[in-house]
Amino acid sequence: MQICRDLPSLRAATAALRAASRRLALVPTMGALHEGHVALVHAARGEADAVAASIFVNPLQFNASDDLARYPRDEEGDLAKLRAAGCDLVWMPPVEAMYPPGSATVIEVAGPSAGWEGDARPGHFRGVATVCCKLFLQTGAEVAAFGEKDWQQLQVVTRMAADLDIPIHILPVPTVREADGLALSSRNRFLTPEERATAPLLHRVMTEAAAAIAGGAAVPGTLAAGGARLVAAGFAPDYLALVEAETLRALDAPRADGPMRLVAAARLGTVRLLDNIPV
């Protein structure tokens, strides 16, 4: 597994892969890897001959109230997991290589960036879209794997790649969950044992709400009841909403003409849990 920390060596490594006429897939990450990331590497491998992963904690997607400083970092553990997963190349640029002094270009994706995480974390999707665009262009990958866990991010990146005619296939990969339903996340490690025991309720409430809505229950009442259950259990919900799957537009009644998603974010102690499921 080759490790590249500057752009010239990345270009040389991807050129060598291409010379062997190999289709390259990219798994963008911010490190602190878990089984969800390993699933991305396996899914990427299924679509390409070679897999590159990037590890870059992107300062542009954290805002003032956000948690850049306490974002978990574990370079050695991450590299061991990527090696075991069969990754061919790891791109680990320092911040100055990604954003050299004088960098002045950002990517703003209107539409799916609006609302939900876009409201909770102003500027977050500008940072995500900008770094993903750069990662796509730096690696020249034909495929990029993204987890469905960050559903809004997946829609933002898919829209951005389509709008900018970047020749890359965005591969959605299903959320990996613990046995009790909790979606894997690098931030779960910050849950106390009591919070960890409560955390799966988010997915349970969502699953029951989705089933009720699919069975004809009124959307606003169902979501309000779900939110109240979360509050009673100690969550501070930011949102629990039914949306159009691609545009993230809120729905107060089911649509008959396209996929829908239930999206939620709720704070439990100091940890903000995100989840989404199809309806």
Binding site members for ATP: 30-37, 147-150, 176, 184-187
The correct pick among 10, 13, 29, 237 for binding ligand PAF (CB under 6 A) is 29
Classified as helix, coil or strand, 89 is strand
Piece of 11-19, 23-31, 171-179, 230-238 that binds ligand PAF (CB under 6 A): 23-31
Residue 37 known to be catalytic: yes
H-only helix segments in the chain? 7-19, 35-45, 75-85, 95-98, 117-120, 124-139, 151-163, 193-198, 201-214, 219-232
Contact between 128 and ligand PAF by CB under 6 A: the answer reads yes
State how far the Cα of 181 lies from the Cα of 193, in Å rounded to an integer: 16
Contact between 129 and ligand PAF by CB under 6 A: the answer reads no
Q: Enumerate residues 169-198 that contact ligand PAF by CB under 6 A.
A: none
Residue 206: Cβ-neighbour burial (10 angstroms; 0-12, 13-18, 19+): buried
Find the catalytic residue in 37, 42, 124, 169.
Answer: 37
Shortest Cβ 196–ligand PAF spacing (Å): 21
Q: Enumerate residues 134-153 that contact ligand PAF by CB under 6 A.
A: 150, 153
Kindly report the length of the chain.
279
Question: Helix 219-232 vs helix 201-214: angle between axes, to the nearest 10 degrees?
Answer: 160
Give me the torsion for CA of 228, 153, 44, 161, rounded to 10°.
Answer: 150
Residues flagged as binding site: 30-37, 61, 147-150, 153, 176, 184-187
Strand order in the sheet with 89-91: 2-4, 89-91, 50-55, 24-29, 143-147, 169-173
Contact between 39 and ligand PAF by CB under 6 A: the answer reads no
State how far the Cα of 179 lies from the Cα of 207, in Å rounded to an integer: 15
Contact between 131 and ligand PAF by CB under 6 A: the answer reads yes
Contact between 28 and ligand PAF by CB under 6 A: the answer reads yes
Q: Enumerate residues 59-78 that contact ligand PAF by CB under 6 A.
A: 61
Piece of 22-30, 62-70, 193-201, 232-240 that binds ligand PAF (CB under 6 A): 22-30
Contact between 275 and ligand PAF by CB under 6 A: the answer reads no
Q: Which is nearer to ligand PAF, 87 or 132 (CB)?
A: 132
C-alpha dihedral sign at 249, 245, 33, 131: negative
Residues identified as active-site: 37
The contact set with ligand PAF (CB under 6 A) reads 28-30, 58, 61, 128, 131-132, 150, 153
